[in-house]
């Protein structure tokens, strides 16, 4: 269970410590519901309420213009990245919010360094940017498949930490969420995609091949979480076997971060004082 603070759950229990000391992914129960009330319908209603709060804060965030927000959603197949975006950001204006889903790099992208394409899709001032998957794919897929060795992997961890530090030092607030589901939960969600014709488009036979590498991916996730949870961009593990709880936890943390920024509207133009439109 998460620690309590005035009756509210603390994210500390689920935040990966800087340097990863003492962190083990197996200690994070994907079925836990630290932010849940015990009433599923009440939690769903709370997610909708938080989405509206985030929308109101996004308006002020855009007007303030001092910050940029980058939300990274990382997780195995069926972990719920799309569902999180739909639930948490459904109320926000498309004028100030962009999403990008990362797939295998193109030939052009492969001709550059692996972070080149990422830097083109970071938020501008006053903007929310949500990444469905992220640059962390470059320390997952190549690692599990043996395309890069240990030295190259550690180099990439360092590159990523420096890249994120650059973003943070130039005004970007980074929230990194690892959506953590169990092996059994993934099986059920994949089977649902097979059994429901309306979800066939979400399923690929390659998903079953990747599932065979579950242990290897869990190990790669644990290593990257330890290596890249930094003071400027820490990782939060989100227990995600419950879709409602996943949405509730992420919506709460996004809302809390935005409120902590002490956003403000720009000062009034003195010329507006007493101005009457004829």
Per domain, the residue ranges of the chain are 4-262
Sign, Cα dihedral of 166, 167, 170, 175: negative
Residue 5's pLDDT is 43
Please report where in the chains the tokens 């409120």 appear, as a residue: 259
Whole-angstrom distance, CA of residue 242 vs CA of residue 172: 30
- Report field, pTM of the whole predicted structure over 0.75: yes
Contact 125, 65 (CB under 8 A): yes
pLDDT of 168-221, one tens digit each?
Answer: 999 999 999 999 999 999 999 999 999 999 999 989 888 899 999 999 999 999
Residue 106's pLDDT is 94
Contact 133, 102 (CB under 8 A): yes
Measured CA angle at 155 (ends 154, 156), to 5 deg: 90
Q: What is the mean pLDDT of each run of 10 residues along the chain (278 residues)?
A: 48 87 94 96 97 95 96 96 95 87 94 97 96 97 97 98 98 98 96 93 90 96 97 97 97 97 91 90
| Closest alpha carbon to 129 in 100, 92, 90, 95 | 100
Kind and range of the H or E run holding 65: none
Whole-angstrom distance, CA of residue 68 vs CA of residue 273: 31
Question: Which CATH code of 3.40.50.300, 3.40.228.10, 1.10.10.10, 3.60.21.10 fits the domain covering 4-262?
Answer: 3.40.50.300
């Amino acid at each position: 269970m998460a620690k309590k603070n005035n009756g509210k759950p603390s994210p500390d229990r689920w935040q990966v410590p800087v340097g990863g000391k003492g962190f083990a992914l197996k200690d994070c129960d994907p079925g836990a519901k630290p932010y849940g009330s015990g009433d599923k319908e009440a939690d769903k209603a709370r997610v909708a309420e938080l989405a509206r709060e985030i929308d109101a804060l996004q308006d002020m965030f855009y007007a303030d213009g001092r910050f940029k927000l980058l939300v990274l959603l990382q997780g195995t197949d069926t972990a719920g990245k799309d569902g999180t975006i739909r639930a948490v950001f459904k109320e926000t204006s498309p004028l100030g919010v962009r999403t990008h889903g990362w797939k295998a790099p193109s030939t052009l992208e492969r001709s550059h360094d692996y972070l080149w394409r990422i830097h083109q899709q970071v938020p501008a001032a006053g903007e929310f940017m949500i990444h469905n998957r992220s640059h962390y794919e470059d320390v997952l897929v190549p690692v599990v498949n043996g395309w890069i060795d240990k030295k190259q992997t550690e180099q990439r961890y360092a590159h990523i930490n420096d890249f994120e530090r650059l973003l943070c030092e130039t005004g970007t607030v980074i929230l990194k969420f690892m959506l953590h589901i169990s092996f059994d939960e993934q099986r059920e969600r994949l089977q649902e995609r097979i059994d429901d014709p309306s979800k066939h488009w979400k399923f690929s036979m390659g998903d079953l091949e990747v599932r065979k590498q579950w242990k290897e991916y869990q190990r790669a996730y644990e290593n990257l979480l330890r290596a890249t949870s930094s003071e400027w961009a820490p990782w939060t593990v989100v227990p995600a076997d419950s879709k409602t709880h996943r949405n509730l936890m992420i919506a709460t943390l996004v809302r809390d971060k935005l409120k902590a920024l002490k956003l403000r509207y720009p000062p009034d133009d003195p010329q507006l004082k007493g101005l009457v439109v004829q």
